[in-house]
Structure 1
Amino acid sequence: MAVTQRRGRRIMMTPDEVDAFLATERTCRVATVSRDGAPHASPLWFAWDGTSLWLYSIIRSKRWSDLRKDPRIAVVVDAGEEYGELRGVELTGTAEFVGESPRVGEPCPELDAPERLFARRVFGLDEMPHDGRHAWIRLTPDAVTSWDFRKLAALG
């Protein structure tokens, strides 16, 4: 007996579609948990390396402070204006802090590839400019949820 998939499964993106989407979008919304348990959401630019989402955050931000106290994180990247064109990806997991804080450019081989990627995508540069106010957060997701409402037309 065949199992009918839920509509949500039928409109989810394939792994290749998720990669392509995250490689082209620029802004995400980062959700954290504050000390008092209240949620906090804020927009941020990011880079996707095919495995992890790299966030370059101001270290004096509420987001940074929240994640230092509780590293649980959810990130949404979405696009579309009309209902039938909405699409997006939610990534959840644990934030990891990589490199020095604040980042001033000390050698860190682990950051070579993400900094090159981020510098090209965000600044149009070959090298990452460091301002001494930001540092890196890596999210290697435990769970990825996606949707592409453009697939609804094919479902009838």
Structure 2
Amino acid sequence: MTVAQRRGRRIMMTPGELDEFLAGQRTCRVATVSADGAPHVSVLWFAWDGTSLWLYSVVRSKRWTDLCRDPRVAVVVDAGEEYGQLRGVELSGTVEFVGEAPRTGELCAELDTPEILFARKNFGLDEMPYDGRHAWMRLTPHKVVSWDFRKMGSA
């Protein structure tokens, strides 16, 4: 899943820290490539299942259109206000579209876990509410880079 992080080993997250961080955060920034080659960045809620980042996107969005044309993506999840508190993860790779688009709740075993994780984290529900406007993309990252400036201490 991940390429070894060469620089910043001192501040990189352990696998357990990375899982805990991604499971606890709600918002990510998704970078896509527009038809004209320009980057496009948007914000989404997500779910992390320990292996893949699940993105629930409006299907009539620039992000969705960009990813249908070119599924390469980079995603950043970060937190912290003060410099010494900054931490985050960058995940990059290619998205796969999972389930029907837009999602209406048809049976799809692959979506059982991400939908429960997403519904609990973002809505406080045990079942996913469907609005007929969103659909799922799975990013199983080819590369993961993380940082946690809190590990630098006061030095």
**TM-score normalised per structure 2:** 0.94
Moved over 2 A (4+): none
How is 1:1-156 mapped onto 2 (pairs within 5 angstroms)? 8-153=8-153, 156=155
Give the secondary-structure state (helix, strand or coil) at the position aligned to 1:9: coil
Task: Provide closer, same or farther for how the CA distance between residues 78 and 109 of structure 1 changes in structure 2, counting only shifts above 3 A.
Answer: same
More helix per residue: 1 or 2?
1
Count matched residues.
Answer: 151
CA RMSD across the alignment: 1.4
Task: Give CA-to-partner distance per residue, 1:51-75, whole Å, 9 cap, x none.
Answer: 0000100000100000000000000
Question: Which one has more relative contact order, counting CA pairs under 8 Å at least 6 apart?
Answer: 2
Distance 1:106 1:13, change over 3 A: same
Show structure 1 runs of 5+ residues with no match.
1-5
TM-score where L is the length of structure 1: 0.94
TM-fit CA distance, 1:81: 0.2
Which structure 2 segments of 5+ residues have no match?
A: 1-5
Percentage of identical aligned residues: 77
- Work out the CA distance in 1 between the residues paired with 2:112 and 2:24: 20
For 2:15 and 2:81, locate their aligned partners in 1 and report how far apart those are by CA, in whole Å: 23
Partner Cα separation in structure 1 for residue 152 and residue 42 of structure 2:
29
Larger radius of gyration: 1
